[in-house]
Structure 1
Amino acid sequence: MSLMVIGTGFGRTGTDSMREALTMLGFGPCHHMSEVMAHAEQKRLWRALAKGGAPDWAQLFAGYKSCVDWRSAHYWRELIGVYPQARVILTWRSPEIWWESFEKTILPVIAGSTDQESLGIALVSKQVFGGRPQDRGHAIAVYQANVEAVLEAVPAERLLVHKLGDGWAPLCAHLGVPVPDAPYPSRNTTQEFRTVLSLN
């Protein structure tokens, strides 16, 4: 099994809803931060990569048909080359609204963690945000730079920019599947996220 869909949007852009949507459309299992939190072997593999290990993408994504959230958002440049047939999705919300959600959810978890090998610190804080996730201007600039890089690097015919609220129609058209007879999922709100204790 190889990846059929690669997500390039940062966490807090609707990635958990997209994970559920892709699963409903037959592109699951979908790799998401929650998978790493739930499985010890996933945690071990991704922590080793974050520490500078050589990536074995086939092993890291073994058993998954799609991926979204911080892993694929950070490594998308490599992934779109390794999986040239995969469709690409950029989940998006305005930078200011993204920051408001990030500040209330992921940032407190990072700030409260004492485990320097946790992916919240090793990957999100240090690698994605250069050790400055709490700096609003810097974090928003990093977010915008990622969006611009995806738009520039990924051919338009391969890429879908999926904004919060877009629902099924553009996603299903992009993936070439029928629209399901079910509401588009809405998952992992700020309140729901606050029940999560760590980003391990």
Structure 2
Amino acid sequence: MGQKPSVPQPGTTIQVIGAGLPRTGTASFSKALEILLEGPTFHCGTQATLGPPIQIKTWIQALKHWAAGGDSDKKALLELLARQYDGYAATTDSPGGQLVPELMALYPDAKVICTVRDPVSWEKSMNQVMHYTFLWFLRGVLFPLPGMRHFIDYLTLLSVQWKRLYDEDVPTRQTYYRHIEWLKEVVPEHRLVFYDVRDGWEPLCKALGKEVPKDIPFPHINDGEAIEKIARLHIRRGLTRWAFIFAVGATGLAWVLYR
């Protein structure tokens, strides 16, 4: 997950569809794409949790249409995706990584790049994510926050999407393998690239036909630390907002009783 949300750049269109699962270096990948493509990257997790409230609300609508699957739903889904990605040069992270067929239809010239890592370490990393995203008190704490009050509904729909694609309730290394196989089924071979961020600039630049940036080190962002930081930020913001609400309520009650 990235450190801050990206701002759309008018006239920019999707050139890269990031098909890698979360916790496969998507934050570093996103930053690298911004440098190479000279445009903003839509890192789904970051945009949903730190972007304007309309973005998480749009994802909820899009995932509902995806789950419904009717002809009118498919059309509505494509319209929502086109609106969501307007002004961005690339998309990374979930749920975009599970909407590859739809995104290929919208952006037929875009390259599909799947970030990869060791499946065993990925499984352990995803278990850490689950700890922060499914805390029992999260819905109540986040309720006073515009946008984030919808976070649990968003996670629920993400779970529906993953369950349908990978037939698993909890992400495991088998989820990772099934995602790779699914991509090979839905993406033409000439459009699909597998990439490990530990390999740096060279293979990514080769895949995109770009020159290796001079004097610019490859960005390395720790996804786990970013997720933990954002989780703590929103929990702290929610608790602070609740404290303010209770303080205002107590002041109002005291004033009424005083009168």
TM tier, smaller: 0.7 to 0.9
User: How far is the alpha carbon of 1:23 from its aligned partner?
Assistant: 0.3
Q: CA deviation at 1:169?
A: 0.4
Matching of residues 1-200 of structure 1 within 5 Å: 1-32=12-43, 33-37=45-49, 38-52=51-65, 54-55=76-77, 56=79, 57-104=81-128, 106-112=129-135, 113-114=138-139, 117-123=152-158, 125-129=159-163, 133-134=169-170, 139-181=172-214, 182-197=216-231
In structure 2, what is the Cα distance between the partners aligned to 1:152 and 1:167? 27
What TM-score comes out, normalization by structure 1 length? 0.86
Bigger fraction of residues in helix: 2
Q: Check conservation: 1:4, 1:27, Cα contact below 8 A.
A: no
SS of alignment partner, residue 195 of structure 1: helix
CA–CA distance in structure 2, aligned partners of residues 161 and 111 of structure 1: 30
Unaligned ranges ≥5, structure 2: 1-11, 66-72, 140-149, 235-259
Structure 2 letter corresponding to 1:183? P
Number of corresponding residues: 193
Name the CA shift for 1:49/1:189 in 2 (closer, same or farther; >3 Å).
Answer: closer
Distance in structure 2 (CA, Å) of the matches to 1:161 and 1:25:
17
Aligned equivalents of 2:225, 2:62: Cα separation in 1? 30
Whole-angstrom distance in 2 between the partners of 1:81 and 1:189: 29
Cα distance in 2 for partners of 1:116, 1:29 equals: 23
- Alpha-carbon distance, 1:176 to partner: 1.0
Provide the rounded CA distance (Å) in 2 between the counterparts of 1:129 and 1:94. Answer: 22
Residue-by-residue CA offset, 1:82-123 (whole Å, 9 max, x unaligned):
21100110101121111111111x211332143675422321
Q: In angstroms, what is the RMSD of aligned CA positions?
A: 2.1
CA distance in 1, matches of 2:26, 2:212: 19
Any unmatched runs of 5+ in structure 1? none
1:77, CA displacement in angstroms? 1.6
Which sits farther off after the overlay, 35-44 or 47-56?
Answer: 47-56
Q: Is the 8 A contact 1:129 1:142 kept in 2?
A: no
State which structure, 1 or 2, has the greater radius of gyration over its C-alpha atoms.
2
- CA distance in 2: counterparts of 1:20 and 1:94, whole angstroms: 21
Opposite residue 13 of structure 1, the aligned amino acid is T
Taking structure 2 as the reference length, what is the TM-score of the superposition? 0.68
Distance 1:133 1:31 in 2: 26
